[in-house]
Amino acid sequence: MELTTVDGRPGGDQAARMEEGDGTRPPLLPPCYLWGMSSDRKQTQIRLEPEVLAVGRDAAAGRDLDFNRYVERLIIEDTTGTRAAGMAAAQRLIDDHGAFLADLEAELDSQHAAAGPRDAAA
């Protein structure tokens, strides 16, 4: 059994003692301290109004993300210009095809209105 330290180096004396079978065990560490189990990610804390937190959690769930990944994505999109580029592309689409989209929406609305309400018992 080969033991390593957090940074991947051989475990030294402790590893040798275990290989010799003298019964000593390595100190117990939480999983986050074991080699390969840690992360470069940093933890932070933010304070939000309860309503804002609830809306944020709902938005994260709607995107199949946990809340932390959702906040991370918002920050990245905001600081890299991705969000602005997406909004500019959406505005160009509306500018170029807005009349067609409005006509299509009106046509679909009129078809839906002509069909009338559906019978819930059917």
Domain residue spans in the chain? 1-40, 88-112
Tell me phi and psi for residue 109, to 5 degrees.
-65, -40
Q: Is the pLDDT of residue 61 over 80?
A: yes
Average pLDDT, integer, range 40-60? 91
CA-wise closest residue to 41 among 62, 12, 72: 72
Q: Which amino acid is at 11?
A: G
CA separation for the pair 93, 39 (Å, rounded): 41
pTM over 0.85: no
At residue 47, the pLDDT reads: 93
At residue 34, the pLDDT reads: 62
DSSP 3-state assignment of 4?
strand
Instruction: Give me the chain's average pLDDT, please.
Output: 79
Annotate 41-93 with DSSP letters as a single string: ---------HHHHHHHHHHHHHTT--HHHHHHHHHHHHHHSHHHHHHHHHHHH
Calculate what percentage of the chain has a pLDDT beyond 70: 63
Query: pLDDT (tens digit, 9 = 90+) per residue, 15-29?
Result: 444 444 555 565 666
